[in-house]
Amino acid sequence: MPDKQDETPAPGTARCPGESWDDLVRADSIGVPEFLKKESYEYLGSEPLATARYTSPDFFRQEVEKMWPNVWQFAAREEDMPDPGDVVVYENAGRSYLVTRQDDGSVRAFHNVCLHRGRKLRLESGYSKDFKCPFHGFTWNTNGSLKEIPCRWDFGHLTDEKMKLPEARVGRWGGYIFVCENNTGVSLEEYLAPLPEHFKRWKHEDCVTVIHVGKVIRANWKAVSEAFMEAWHSVVTHPQILPFTGDANTFYATWGDNVNLALTPFAVMSPHIDQSAHPQQWIVDEFLKYNGRAGGPDLKVQVPEGETARKAMAAANRKRYQDSTGHDHSHASDAELLDALVYNVFPNFAPWGGFMPNIVYRWRPWPDQDATLMEVRILQRIPPGQKKPRSVPMNLLREDQTWTAATELGTLANVFDQDMANLPYVQDGLKVSKTGQVNLGDYQEIRIRQFHRTLDKYLAAR
Ligand code: FES
Ligand SMILES: [Fe+2]
């Protein structure tokens, strides 16, 4: 008989008892691509994290100085700014950028500050034939070159060359536009790997933003984003989704420093529910009621005798998405038509994979360690050959509004409100913590662990 110590699994090797993610996809009618099956988990230790990482102004200052200027940040979608002269004002962590469409279709990002006496050149996104400072009228072309200095006779010391607007690096992938303040460092492609390889299947460049909602939340930007890095809080925070969510069956993967995934199966019962107590049809009925991307209660799906809810729901979605978008999903796996494939790119960008309308999250400190601007976009696949419409503008909720005020989100809004019912109290708790520590699960919270390890690498750099 092995002694007790031998029976303790090595750290990080324990998984939820019962049916696994592997078992589930083996039973699917069309199986998932290899990269969604292959374990990519590395045990990264079990040490607690200091609460000061979320609450300390000094820690926040270090993030602003050492991390944010050196990472690729999701700044805009292509459809936010399709035409020459279109500008997105992207602001974060003590910087403001004019992300600007050029005449040749390329994109450049300029620091949004007048080089005379420092006024911001623009406050809002929109169209501009040039950037004219509203204070004294210094003006720049949309390619960042100096256009005009009123009373130029008084500025003989300023050359056109010296007065070019400073510029940040721009990278583009999948319909997303990124900026990186620092002009050295890895390319966007290197930074995002292996995400672009995975998303070749889901082609976000064929999608546009059809819903965009934002809200300021009274909690640290990391605490907010981490609430979307694990699925297992569903058991207490989102009980209404348990009938159709394999919360504890979630497959977690990390790749390198920047990319990770939580793949939560839908249209299966939670391992926390007595599986024998309910018929398969119950799973589908609850899924249609409470899964934000499922199509709502008007859609009827019958589970044939002897069939699983998962197969029936996948078949229904396969047909529904093909009919509505004109894209062929005959080879799409059940998982890609049903599940939450929530990718995360360090530090604050989370695009969902799969063929359902894709959710995209972004979190920014707003403006300091105690508050976050959280944005939710829904991307819709555009039928082949159809011209892409512009993005819808962001519906920025007031602080006194709940997410349900954004009726365009449907039942997803209720899920976000449930998350928000925790977050300000997470921040409050972190501030008054006696131990000054938070503890993480070795497997289900591995993405949070990876995130902090990567953050530490930036903070340690000289
Ligand atoms: S501050 Fe911009 S023109 Fe003077
Ligand atoms: Fe949640």
CB of residue 26 inside a 6 A radius of ligand 1: no
The encoded tokens of residue 400 equal 């006194």
Would you say 374 and 350 are in contact if contact means Cβ atoms under 8 Å apart?
no
- What pLDDT score was predicted for residue 436? 98
Residue 279 has pLDDT above 60, yes or no: yes
Assess if residue 233 is contained within a domain: yes
* Domain end point (choices 188, 215, 236): 188
Percent of the chain with pLDDT over 90: 90
Strands 395-396 and 372-381, sheet pairing: unpaired
* Other residues' Cβ atoms within 10 Å of the Cβ of residue 143: 17
Residue 82 has pLDDT above 60, yes or no: yes
- Nearest residue by C-alpha to atom 1 in ligand 1: 117
- What pLDDT score was predicted for residue 19? 83
Residue 313 has pLDDT above 80, yes or no: yes
pTM: 0.96
Dihedral sign, Cα of residue 321, residue 325, residue 331, residue 337: negative
Name 342's bridge partners.
262, 352
* 236 Cα–ligand 2 center, Å: 10
Is residue 153 domain-shared with residue 76, that is, in the same domain? Answer: yes
Assess if residue 430 is contained within a domain: yes
Is residue 290 domain-shared with residue 374, that is, in the same domain? Answer: yes
Residue with tokens 């050196």: 70
The encoded tokens of residue 216 equal 């300021």
CB of residue 213 inside a 6 A radius of ligand 1: no
* 438 Cα–ligand 1 center, Å: 47
Arithmetic mean of pLDDT, 429-455:
98
Residue 21 has pLDDT above 90, yes or no: no
Is residue 177 domain-shared with residue 209, that is, in the same domain? Answer: no
Residue with tokens 């100085």: 65
CB of residue 137 inside a 6 A radius of ligand 1: yes
Is residue 115 domain-shared with residue 78, that is, in the same domain? Answer: yes
CB of residue 165 inside a 6 A radius of ligand 1: no
* 368 Cα–ligand 1 center, Å: 27
Confidence of residue 220 (pLDDT cuts 50, 70, 90): very high
Arithmetic mean of pLDDT, 12-26:
88
Helix (H, G, I), strand (E, B) or coil at 320: helix
Is residue 249 domain-shared with residue 387, that is, in the same domain? Answer: yes
Would you say 457 and 186 are in contact if contact means Cβ atoms under 8 Å apart?
no
For 69, 144, 188, 347, the CA distances from 92, given in Å and listed in that order, are 10, 20, 19, 12
Ranking 83-97, 188-202, 277-291, 336-350 by mean pLDDT, the lowest is 277-291
Residue 321 has pLDDT above 60, yes or no: yes
Is residue 132 domain-shared with residue 272, that is, in the same domain? Answer: no
Write down how long the chain is: 462
- What pLDDT score was predicted for residue 422? 97
- What pLDDT score was predicted for residue 1? 41
* 118 Cα–ligand 1 center, Å: 6
Is residue 91 domain-shared with residue 177, that is, in the same domain? Answer: yes
User: Which stretches of 37-153 are DSSP H helices?
Assistant: 52-55, 57-62
CB of residue 191 inside a 6 A radius of ligand 1: no
Arithmetic mean of pLDDT, 42-53:
97
CB of residue 116 inside a 6 A radius of ligand 1: yes
* Domain end point (choices 157, 188, 219): 188
Name 169's bridge partners.
180
- What pLDDT score was predicted for residue 290? 87
- Nearest residue by C-alpha to atom 3 in ligand 1: 136
Q: Give, to the nearest 10 degrees, the angle between helix 280-290 and helix 309-325.
A: 40
Arithmetic mean of pLDDT, 434-445:
97
Is residue 294 domain-shared with residue 372, that is, in the same domain? Answer: yes
* 116 Cα–ligand 2 center, Å: 46
Burial class (CB in 10 A: 0-12, 13-18, 19+), 141: middle
Following DSSP, what letter does each residue of 10-56 receive, concatenated? PTT----SSS-HHHHHHHSSSPPPGGGTS--------PPEETHHHH-
Name 50's bridge partners.
437
- Nearest residue by C-alpha to atom 4 in ligand 1: 136
Domains in the chain: how many in total? 2
Would you say 294 and 271 are in contact if contact means Cβ atoms under 8 Å apart?
no
CATH number (domain holding residue 127): 2.102.10.10
Arithmetic mean of pLDDT, 108-112:
98
- What pLDDT score was predicted for residue 6? 59
Residue 15 has pLDDT above 80, yes or no: yes
* Shortest-distance ligand to the CA of residue 228: 2
CB of residue 43 inside a 6 A radius of ligand 1: no
Is residue 426 domain-shared with residue 312, that is, in the same domain? Answer: yes
Ranking 156-170, 321-335, 364-378 by mean pLDDT, the lowest is 321-335
Arithmetic mean of pLDDT, 7-30:
87
Whether a cis peptide bond, with omega within 30° of 0, leads into 194 is: yes
